[in-house]
Amino acid sequence: MTGVWKVYFLAIVSFLVGTSEYIISGILDKIADSLGITITAAGQLITIFSMVYAILTPILMALTAKVERRKLLVYSLGIFVIANVLSYALPGYIPFVFARVLMAMGAGMVVVTALGIAAQIAAPGKQASAIATVIMGFTASLIIGVPLGRVVAAAFGWKSVFGFIAILGVISMFVLYKAIPITKGDAPVPLLKQFALLKKPKVALGLAITFFWLGGYSVAYTYLSPYLLMVSGLNESWISAALFAFGLASLMGSQFGGFSTDRWGVSSTLTGGMMLHILALIALTFTHAASSVIPVLVILVVWSLAAWSSGPAQQFNLVQLEPNSSGVMLGLNQSMMQLSMAAGAGIGGVAVEQISLSSITWIGAVGVAVAMAASFVLFRLGKEKSPDHAALET
């Protein structure tokens, strides 16, 4: 198994983890009906997963810093597999919540460890590409995992999705143990040193962009399946197709975001993408009046393209803020992304419960608008500082 194929296999593992996180949005209505709970309660499963992932992953990685990386990856994947087995086997809502907590603990360690191993086993000069490949596996779960999970859930029941993930996880454990070489971890960065960066106004503002951008996205995306069924008027046969179109557009948007950032810069890509993101969410509000499924699919594609085009631009934006601490910045951004997903799902649940299901698009648009305002402030601060930087360089 060459180094390239090992990296691609790590991407497959990342795909499994991503599917386990995102699949809830694709089968939210089925979980609610099966467990006899509201879609709001079902949506909080995403909040719980993301919150545990964001808070415990840096702590668990710090505690396991001295553990050999291959062993840590296999053990973490084992925790993830057990959690999926419990999700499949245990009845009721509370046991499923417990399984989601365990799943998030394993998932966070799997992804972070896989990224580290990918960078170490990649060929010289290919480390960044290896990391991007593993991240692509996580993104692919939106494109393939969620719509495929919806199909599997319709055919065999929603619990079967976690059964299949558990089986694939067990197979992956054996392959990883045989294929991945013994790999030492990097020197750990103390948590207090990581959090010290948050005291810097520009860093806090940069991470606030992530929080409100992805939080606004999550408010609407968490409840997308019931929204399409009950508000937009799509029937069951179109839901998987809509989710597939949405996921495919997310990959295209991510690719375009990288190209646009290189070509036109961070500020144009980030603000332009968020503006289109806001307009798409508002447009989705009016799809209940559509006489055809085509307008709904078009708006979903535009929304996903716009939302995910901001990802590469925002990551590059954060690296530029603290170029000497790029690894820590990206790690903090990962935690902030999960926190924002949790907050978005929670706020969306309150909106569905207290206002209406149709309100989530407007509330999501407000969240993205706040992120856009934060980006304007950050870029203005950057322009004010640039003369000083130029003077230092000359």
Tokens 């708006």 label which residue?
Answer: 299
| Same domain for 269 and 302 | yes
| Same domain for 199 and 179 | no
CA pair distance 260, 266, nearest whole angstrom: 8
Domain termination site, one of 163, 188, 213: 188
Q: pLDDT truncated to tens, each residue of the chain (394 aa)?
A: 456 788 888 889 989 998 988 888 788 888 988 888 888 888 888 888 888 988 888 788 778 877 888 899 999 999 999 999 999 999 889 999 999 999 999 998 898 888 778 877 777 766 656 766 777 787 778 778 888 888 888 888 899 999 999 999 999 999 988 888 877 765 666 667 767 777 888 888 889 999 999 999 999 988 888 888 888 877 777 887 888 888 888 878 877 887 888 788 888 889 999 999 999 999 988 877 555 788 888 999 999 999 988 877 887 787 777 776 666 776 677 788 888 988 898 899 889 888 988 899 999 999 999 999 999 998 888 766 544 444 333 3
Give the Cβ contact number of residue 380 at 10 Å.
11
| Same domain for 231 and 140 | no
CA pair distance 221, 255, nearest whole angstrom: 20
| Same domain for 144 and 195 | no
| Same domain for 59 and 203 | no
Please tell me what DSSP assigns to residue 64: T
Integer angstrom CA distances of residue 66 from 63, 101, 186, 198: 8, 24, 9, 26
| Same domain for 313 and 352 | yes
| Same domain for 332 and 216 | yes
Closest C-alpha among 41, 310, 341 to residue 219: 341
| Same domain for 157 and 41 | yes
Closest C-alpha among 39, 149, 37 to residue 93: 37
Identify the pLDDT of residue 389: 44
26 within 8 A of 226, measured Cβ to Cβ: no
Proportion of the chain above pLDDT 90, given as a percent: 26
pLDDT digits (tens, 9 = 90+) for 104-159: 999 988 988 887 788 777 777 666 567 667 777 877 787 788 888 888 888 888 99
Total count of domains within the chain: 2
- Exposed/middle/buried for residue 57 (C-beta within 10 Å: 0-12, 13-18, 19+): buried
Note every long-range contact of 237-241, with CB atoms under 8 Å and residues 24 or more positions apart, other chains counting.
238/293, 239/150, 240/147, 240/150, 240/151, 240/154, 241/147, 241/297
Expressed as residue numbers, the domain containing 164 is: 1-188
pLDDT digits (tens, 9 = 90+) for 127-137: 656 766 777 78
Give the Cβ contact number of residue 27 at 10 Å.
23
Task: Check which CATH number belongs to the domain holding 273 and give it.
Answer: 1.20.1250.20
Domain termination site, one of 161, 188, 215: 188
Give the Cβ contact number of residue 5 at 10 Å.
10
pLDDT digits (tens, 9 = 90+) for 326-380: 667 766 777 888 889 888 988 998 898 889 888 999 999 999 999 999 999 988 8
| Same domain for 50 and 199 | no
One DSSP character per residue, 88-124 reads HH--SHHHHHHHHHHHHHHHHHHHHHHHHHHHHHSPT
| Same domain for 342 and 317 | yes
Domain termination site, one of 188, 211, 243: 188
| Same domain for 332 and 194 | yes
Tokens 């009721």 label which residue?
Answer: 92
One DSSP character per residue, 142-193 reads IIIIHHHHHHHHHHH-THHHHHHHHHHHHHHHHHHHHHSPP-PPPPPPPHHH
| Same domain for 244 and 118 | no
